[in-house]
Amino acid sequence: MRLMQHKKEAYWFYRYLSIFYDKLVNPLFWTEKMREKSLDLGYWDDPETLRVIDVGSGTGFTTEGIVRRVPSENVTCVDQSPHQMSRALAKRELAGCTFQLGDAEALPFDDDTFDRYVSAGSIEYWPDPQLGILEAYRVLKPGGWALMIGPLEPVNPFSKFVANTWMLFPPEEDYHQYFENAGFDRIDYTYVAPYWQKSERYGIAIIGRKPQAGKSPYAYTPVPHETAVVNAEQEGMSLGRGMLLAGRVLAGSAAGFLFIPMALVASITAPLRGIDKEPEPLNQHQKVALVAVGVIATIFIVNRLAKRR
Ligand SMILES: C[S@@+](CC[C@H](N)C(=O)[O-])C[C@H]1O[C@@H](n2cnc3c(N)ncnc32)[C@H](O)[C@@H]1O
């Protein structure tokens, strides 16, 4: 399993990432345009009657799109990170939502509770994605729709290696398989990508309908279970597990943070790389980060040149 595809590791990763998640991460990797295109795949007729669950809701960026479609009082947000959730709790437009700490693979709700299930950019951290999608099926009412948005395995061998070492980037067929196995019907999908990406197949939004009440009929044997930090008994950790956790979080965070400057550079060089999509302007935080990257790169180059003389 990948560095960050663990519940404890993801919990600690977001402990710090949550600080600048909305400022630097989403505007590059999960933009408003991508969110709107994904949510438009959903069915939002009769919004007053819809009960919606947003799983892995994080800082509430996708929830902000959901509450444009249904009243916030109808929306329940679940995440395993109290740090991410505290950012969502501070957003005025989400004041009517219900917030609950919980695990995507063991949702704290009865069968047949919600009309719509949404999860955006969270599956890549789940140790057992099939189990998470069986949970989506279980908590939906019959006739309810599950909409899952997640990254796709990159085609470029280097990006594929980095991505797969870091977290789960499922190949497209896996998403279809998870949905079909769970028993969803009327499956549909679309691709989403930020403006600076050449490939359209950067991420997928996939939707399916639950045809009948109750749990999924799929006889599935879950992978060895990991308990989310929010559900775990407070207990000590072995030295080995502690070291593994720290190592994975450090390496995973380094890989994750490296993606930010790479994406910033990719976004300003997009026209030079022949990408003619409408550019999305950088925000103040991204500009500051870009200047910092430029300064560090200049110092590095000047230093190398000085050593050569
Ligand atoms: C990339 S963020 C996406 C947040 C949000 N959906 C958005 O659109 O910005 C991933 C979120 O999934 C949450 N997460 C990871 N594993 C989880 C799990 N097993 N159960 C619940 N939430 C989880 C993380 O805490 C994080 O907030």
Which tens digits make up the pLDDT trace of 67-78? Answer: 999 999 999 999
Mean pLDDT by 10 residues, the chain (309 residues): 78 82 87 97 97 98 98 98 96 98 97 98 95 98 98 87 82 97 98 90 97 97 73 66 78 74 86 84 84 85 85
Q: Which CATH superfamily is domain 1-309 in?
A: Vaccinia Virus protein VP39 (3.40.50.150)
pLDDT of residue 261: 83
Compute the distance from residue 301 Cα to the ligand 1 centre, in Å: 38
Within 6 Å (CB) of ligand 1, which residues are found? Answer: 7, 10, 14, 26, 30, 56-59, 61-62, 79-81, 84, 103-105, 120-122, 125-126, 228
Give residue 236's pLDDT: 62
Q: What pTM was estimated for this model as a whole?
A: 0.89
Pocket test for ligand 1, best of 3, 17, 80, 119 (most atoms within 8 A of CB): 80
8 Å CB contact between 172 and 123: no
The predicted pLDDT at position 165 comes to: 80
Q: Identify the three-state secondary structure at position 208.
A: strand
Q: What Å distances lie between residue 307 and 296, 298, 304, CA to CA?
A: 17, 14, 5
CB 30 within 8 A of CB 120: yes
192 Cα: distance to centroid of ligand 1 (angstroms): 18
- pLDDT of 86: 96
pLDDT number for residue 92: 97
Q: Do residues 39 and 66 lie in contact, with contact meaning Cβ atoms separated by under 8 Å? A: yes
Q: Which atom of ligand 1 is nearest to the CA of 120?
A: 6
- Give the pLDDT of residue 164: 81
Q: What is the pLDDT of residue 58?
A: 97
Q: Which of 147, 148, 145, 149 is nearest to 210 (CA)?
A: 145
Question: Which pLDDT score is estimated for 5?
Answer: 78
